[in-house]
Chain A
Amino acid sequence: MSYLEYNVKRSPSGLRKVLYVNWVLVLLLSAVACVGFLQLYSVSGGDFSRWAEPQMQRFALSITVMFVIAFVPLWFWRSMAGMAYAVSVLLLLGVEFFGSIGMGAQRWLELGPIRLQPSEMTKITVIMAIAAYYDWLDIRKVSHPLWVGVALLIILVPAFLVVKQPDLGTALLIIGGGGMVMFFAGVSLWYFGGVIALVVGLISVVFASRGTSWQLLHDYQFRRIDTFLDPSLDPLGTSYHINQAMIALGSGGLSGRGFMQGTQSRLNFLPEKQTDFIFNTLAEEFGFIGGVFLLALYVGIIVTCVVAAMQSRNRFAALLILGIASNFFLYFAVNMAMVMGLAPVVGVPLPLVSYGGSAMLMILIGFGLVQSACIHRPRERA
């Protein structure tokens, strides 16, 4: 940037930053969270203090954290990216070694009163790291195999640690989030095509081997894959839940059965009704209209982010915004596809709506970075 530009355009500072907060985004996020409060109040059967109240407290805390992050200049976060990434990998290793002491509670790390879920945090730090990496990397080298390999390493090391926990769903989200930032950064489409072809090819080879002399997996492993892909093969297990979830969704109809009138949710037929399957309670009680409304809010958030990214001339800012937005997209897309029976059931919550503090905090930390990028975008002086 030339000196002239510096004179004409500059980042806002001090209290003026408040004016440059992306308020549309704040409004959309709050609207989604409110839908969450409403549904949590409904599925608890009108017990405000059970889920809705703690969720509101967490939201208040998380949005405060979001604003704090938002007001910190973006260059600070850019320089922190490597450090944050390193800390999260260390925490994952900590979970690997110390988390295993608590029985089966590998995903958590007890740090005093806070239960930290490093894998949740890793989704954000990987995006930051990849965004910073491509900001640093010469734009002409992005498709060079060596530099692509470095990016893959940045993504796959934490992903591997998360898979070992074992938490395949989160690992896929990490890979998806990081991969999307690589995509935005301009890595040649051939790589993506190659990876897709490789995965499809591998899967078909494994399936083709079934029943032949060179079978690559044991029979029981195939059966596990079968039930994973088609829950109705396991009618007493997963299939019961997904069927009940579909009944809840389908019985909502156009306008739903009315607030707090969803029999599936209220009578406990719906599993995980306050977490992974909360969308079904919404769809049962507010119907197609309610479901599309929530989806529209989510899409609005994505669109707002894409617009903000395209306005940004800063490579790190743009990649970060798009990465966070894509991460958010993966959350709700996977969750909705899952509860509508389009994807296998993996434990992915509905962002900002499902009950749970860790995911909400991390999502709003992510949007804090987005806001920081929006606020500190150099602007022409008003």
Chain B
Amino acid sequence: MKRPPKDTEESARRISRRAMLMGGAQMAFAGVLVLRMRQLQLGQSEEFRLLAEENRINIRLLPPSRGLIADRNGNLLAQNVQNYRIVLVREDAGEPRAALERLAQLIPLTADEIDRAERDIMRHRPFVPVTIADQLNWEEVARVAANAPALPGITPEVGLSRFYPFGAEFAHTVGYVGPVSERDLEARENPDPLLMIPRFQIGKIGVEREYEDILRGSAGHRRIEVNAVGREMRELDRQEGDAGANVQLTLDRALQAFTLARLGEDSAAAAVIEVQTGNILALASAPSFDPNLFVRGISVADFAALRDNDHRPMSNKTVQGAYPPGSTFKPVTALAAFDARLATPDERVFCPGYIEVSNRRFHCWNRGGHGRVNLTSALAESCDVYFYEMAQRVGIDRINAMAERMGLGFRYELPLSGISSGLNPSREWKRERRDAEWVVGDTINASIGQGYVLTTPLQLAVMTARIATGRAILPRLVHAIDDVEQPVPEYPQLGLDPAALAQVQRGMWEVSNSNRGTAYGSRIVSADLRMAGKTGTSQVFSITAAERAAGIRRQDQLPWNRRDHALFICYAPDTDPRYAVSVVVEHGGGGSSVAAPIARDIILAAQNGGLPPVEAYPAPQRNRIESMIRAISDQIGPAATPETGRRRA
């Protein structure tokens, strides 16, 4: 269509005008864009650069190596071993199921493990390495490494894991580590970021737990550059952490092994301490368990077996178990009386086999009576009536005070779990806890370590050490931290009348050295190894009238958990005491027949620095003892090496 030129001119002018207008608007908008760029890139660039750095840099923690735990001779009780494991990265491995099945041809993997690994893999993002098998041995790792080209995305790795070479021997004292739980985190005010590392292990019981902060060390870190999905692109720098401190305990591995083995199948506890220093040489609670099971992750069945065992393997009976001390408490009653000058050691008390107090009859264990007894014979023969008499004279307040002086009724500061304070009863205690007034019968029961009195085996050993030395010994478990020896405190004198203390010691000597003594059968004949001791048989339940009617007269006719506890305390050598031992056998029966022989073997082992010497035993017993010692020494193995390799299904 032809248009008149005028139209064309008009059209061109109009278009030009509008083009200028719109062009101007567009330039203006471009100007706005420049201003915006200026604002962001020049005005706020520092701010944004900081944000970009924060985006880019990620800090990953490097777990430090955990401090080692050794015994007094440097035997490692807890060590770190290399743990070979296999990790899989999904995005490199392709289909996980197929990859796992290829791997299963090289290392044993059960169908369950494959299923679990597959679930784990799918839960994480594709670039996250997931551990699919650990605790492999070198051969298995080598097989996987050799087949690397056929196994994309699957790599062997090495890490550290805790290992307890002596297994069950130190399960209660050294304890064990396990993965951090929710409860562990909640219990901490401001948890170390290390604890957030998946599968990080911390102490769960014993020294491992109580010294967690010392043993753990401090985390190292590496700064890495990551991309938007968090994948590591490269490492920028790396700073290794500080390893945890090594802890050397006062325990003696050989003696600990012997002690635990000697306790055998019984539910029992024994403590050995050095009387001058308070150093704990052995602290055995039987039966025990293998702490390595917990490090690897204990199976439900294994855990149920430990939990349901009526001998309570997981309990550390040496400090957690509180038992009526029975007659082992008698030295405390005697010392309370002499210290208050309400009796003299030579004073004789007539024992008709019982006494009557406020119309109630309290029997001596020997219903026929001991006749006239003084302190030494009362201790040696364990006459109850003598102490009933003393108890009435001194009263509970002085007995309570003396028990405390002898180290009973309070918690020791030791890096052990669940330490019990035992129970040193007093009038206030009974008023508060039982809402009743203290009566003289309570005092009479307390005087022979029955009634309310409860002590732990370790408390009994401390008490024995205090009797042996007359000083306020306290137990010690830690010898050195990172080779810095922990000072032995100067233990103050207890301020007991030396003559009275000597008489008590004499009485305890007669227990195992006089033919009247309750533990004469467990005497030591070597003059330089002889011990002084005290038997105890503490009643848990009385034989009921119904049982008596059914013809039950003796302990061994009762069900196991109703029988008496057997106790024995001793120190040796008698002239210059070095070691104190306490033994409690739960529901074991009699102190003299069950506990004393065990304690004798242990204190001989302690003095001999190895196994007990056969010649220290009375000649008629030597054959039997020799075979027993041989059996025990066969039972004690050398330090185990970490069990590696997959358990074949």
B41–A264 CB distance below 8 A: no
A249–B19 CB distance below 8 A: no
Our pick among A264, A313, A322, A329 for the contact of B12 (Cβ within 8 Å) is: A313
B11–A295 CB distance below 8 A: no
**Does B561 sit within 8 A of A, measured CB to CB?**
no
| B644 contact set on A, CB distance < 8 A | none
Report the minimum CB–CB distance from A339 to chain B (whole Å).
Answer: 10
Our pick among A247, A299, A303 for the contact of B52 (Cβ within 8 Å) is: A247
Known contacts: A250-B44, A302-B23. The answer to whether A267 contacts B18 by CB under 8 A is: no
**Does B85 sit within 8 A of A, measured CB to CB?**
no
Known contacts: A186-B15, A251-B49. The answer to whether A283 contacts B22 by CB under 8 A is: no
A269–B19 CB distance below 8 A: no
Stretch binding the partner chain, chosen from B221-229, B316-324, B606-614: B221-229
CB under 8 Å from chain B, chain A span 286-311: 287-288, 291-292, 295, 298-299, 302-303, 306, 309-310
A295–B34 CB distance below 8 A: yes
The closest CB in chain A to the CB of B48 belongs to: A250
Report the minimum CB–CB distance from B48 to chain A (whole Å).
Answer: 3
**Does A336 sit within 8 A of B, measured CB to CB?**
yes
Stretch binding the partner chain, chosen from A177-185, A199-207, A212-220, A357-365: A177-185
Report the minimum CB–CB distance from A61 to chain B (whole Å).
Answer: 29
The closest CB in chain A to the CB of B7 belongs to: A139
B18–A306 CB distance below 8 A: no
Known contacts: A139-B11, A295-B33, A315-B8. The answer to whether A252 contacts B41 by CB under 8 A is: yes
Our pick among A248, A291, A303, A337 for the contact of B23 (Cβ within 8 Å) is: A303
**Does B29 sit within 8 A of A, measured CB to CB?**
yes
A340–B33 CB distance below 8 A: yes
**Does B10 sit within 8 A of A, measured CB to CB?**
yes
Report the minimum CB–CB distance from B234 to chain A (whole Å).
Answer: 10
CA distance A244 to B26 in the complex (A): 28
B14–A251 CB distance below 8 A: no
| B37 contact set on A, CB distance < 8 A | 249, 283, 288, 291-292, 295, 340
Our pick among A269, A302, A309, A336 for the contact of B26 (Cβ within 8 Å) is: A302
The closest CB in chain B to the CB of A180 belongs to: B22
CA distance A71 to B562 in the complex (A): 113
Main secondary structure of the interface of A (DSSP, over half): helix
CA distance A91 to B219 in the complex (A): 65
| B30 contact set on A, CB distance < 8 A | 295, 298-299, 333
CB under 8 Å from chain B, chain A span 320-355: 322, 326, 329, 333, 336-337, 340, 342
| B33 contact set on A, CB distance < 8 A | 295, 333, 336-337, 340, 342
Report the minimum CB–CB distance from B38 to chain A (whole Å).
Answer: 7
A253–B19 CB distance below 8 A: no
Known contacts: A250-B41, A267-B56, A299-B27. The answer to whether A309 contacts B228 by CB under 8 A is: no
B55–A267 CB distance below 8 A: yes
CB under 8 Å from chain B, chain A span 126-141: 136, 139
Known contacts: A180-B22, A283-B41. The answer to whether A253 contacts B15 by CB under 8 A is: no
Report the minimum CB–CB distance from B21 to chain A (whole Å).
Answer: 8
| B11 contact set on A, CB distance < 8 A | 139, 186, 315
| B18 contact set on A, CB distance < 8 A | 183-186
CA distance A281 to B531 in the complex (A): 87
Binary per-residue interface labels of chain B (234-262) against chain A in the complex, 1 for a CB within 8 Å, 0 otherwise: 00000000000000000000000000000
CB under 8 Å from chain A, chain B span 38-71: 38, 40-42, 44-45, 47-49, 51-53, 55-56
**Does A57 sit within 8 A of B, measured CB to CB?**
no
| B411 contact set on A, CB distance < 8 A | none
Question: For the side of the interface on B, what is the size category?
Answer: 35 or more
| A254 contact set on B, CB distance < 8 A | 41-42, 45
**Does B16 sit within 8 A of A, measured CB to CB?**
yes
A252–B45 CB distance below 8 A: yes
**Does A32 sit within 8 A of B, measured CB to CB?**
no
Binary per-residue interface labels of chain A (217-253) against chain B in the complex, 1 for a CB within 8 Å, 0 otherwise: 0000000000000000000000000001011111111
B15–A318 CB distance below 8 A: yes
**Does A319 sit within 8 A of B, measured CB to CB?**
yes
A288–B227 CB distance below 8 A: no
**Does B233 sit within 8 A of A, measured CB to CB?**
yes
The closest CB in chain B to the CB of A184 belongs to: B18
| A342 contact set on B, CB distance < 8 A | 32-33, 36
Known contacts: A254-B41, A283-B37, A299-B30. The answer to whether A313 contacts B48 by CB under 8 A is: no
A246–B40 CB distance below 8 A: yes
Known contacts: A251-B45, A251-B49, A251-B52. The answer to whether A326 contacts B226 by CB under 8 A is: no
Question: For the side of the interface on A, what is the size category?
Answer: 35 or more
**Does A100 sit within 8 A of B, measured CB to CB?**
no
Our pick among A186, A267, A302 for the contact of B233 (Cβ within 8 Å) is: A267
| B45 contact set on A, CB distance < 8 A | 250-254
| B20 contact set on A, CB distance < 8 A | 306
**Does A49 sit within 8 A of B, measured CB to CB?**
no
**Does B550 sit within 8 A of A, measured CB to CB?**
no
Report the minimum CB–CB distance from A137 to chain B (whole Å).
Answer: 10
CA distance A168 to B14 in the complex (A): 32
A287–B41 CB distance below 8 A: yes
Report the minimum CB–CB distance from A45 to chain B (whole Å).
Answer: 10
CA distance A270 to B52 in the complex (A): 11
CA distance A287 to B37 in the complex (A): 9
Our pick among B36, B48, B225 for the contact of A340 (Cβ within 8 Å) is: B36
| B26 contact set on A, CB distance < 8 A | 302, 326, 329, 333
Our pick among A292, A319, A337 for the contact of B15 (Cβ within 8 Å) is: A319
CA distance A186 to B18 in the complex (A): 7
CB under 8 Å from chain B, chain A span 156-183: 180, 183
A186–B41 CB distance below 8 A: no
Known contacts: A295-B34, A319-B15. The answer to whether A267 contacts B226 by CB under 8 A is: yes
A333–B29 CB distance below 8 A: yes
Known contacts: A292-B34, A333-B26. The answer to whether A263 contacts B56 by CB under 8 A is: yes
Interface centre among B27, B34, B48, B52 (most CB of A within 10 A): B52
CA distance A199 to B190 in the complex (A): 57
A250–B7 CB distance below 8 A: no
**Does B546 sit within 8 A of A, measured CB to CB?**
no
Report the minimum CB–CB distance from B134 to chain A (whole Å).
Answer: 32
The closest CB in chain B to the CB of A136 belongs to: B1
A250–B40 CB distance below 8 A: yes
Report the minimum CB–CB distance from A184 to chain B (whole Å).
Answer: 5
A267–B228 CB distance below 8 A: yes
| A246 contact set on B, CB distance < 8 A | 40, 48
CA distance A283 to B26 in the complex (A): 21
The closest CB in chain B to the CB of A262 belongs to: B52
CA distance A267 to B225 in the complex (A): 9
A249–B48 CB distance below 8 A: yes
**Chain A to chain B contacts (Cβ below 8 Å), 18 pairs:** A139-B3, A180-B22, A184-B22, A186-B18, A247-B48, A250-B47, A250-B49, A251-B45, A253-B45, A263-B225, A288-B42, A306-B20, A312-B12, A313-B12, A318-B15, A322-B19, A333-B33, A342-B32
**Nearest 7 CB-CB pairings of A with B:** A250-B48, A253-B45, A267-B227, A251-B52, A251-B49, A288-B41, A251-B48
B residues near A, CB below 8 A? Answer: 1-3, 5, 7-8, 10-12, 14-16, 18-20, 22-23, 26-27, 29-30, 32-34, 36-38, 40-42, 44-45, 47-49, 51-53, 55-56, 225-229, 233
Contacts A287-B41, A288-B42, A309-B15 supplied; 17 other A-B pairs, CB < 8 Å: A1-B2, A180-B22, A183-B22, A184-B19, A246-B48, A247-B52, A249-B41, A249-B48, A250-B40, A252-B45, A254-B45, A263-B53, A267-B56, A267-B227, A298-B30, A306-B20, A318-B12
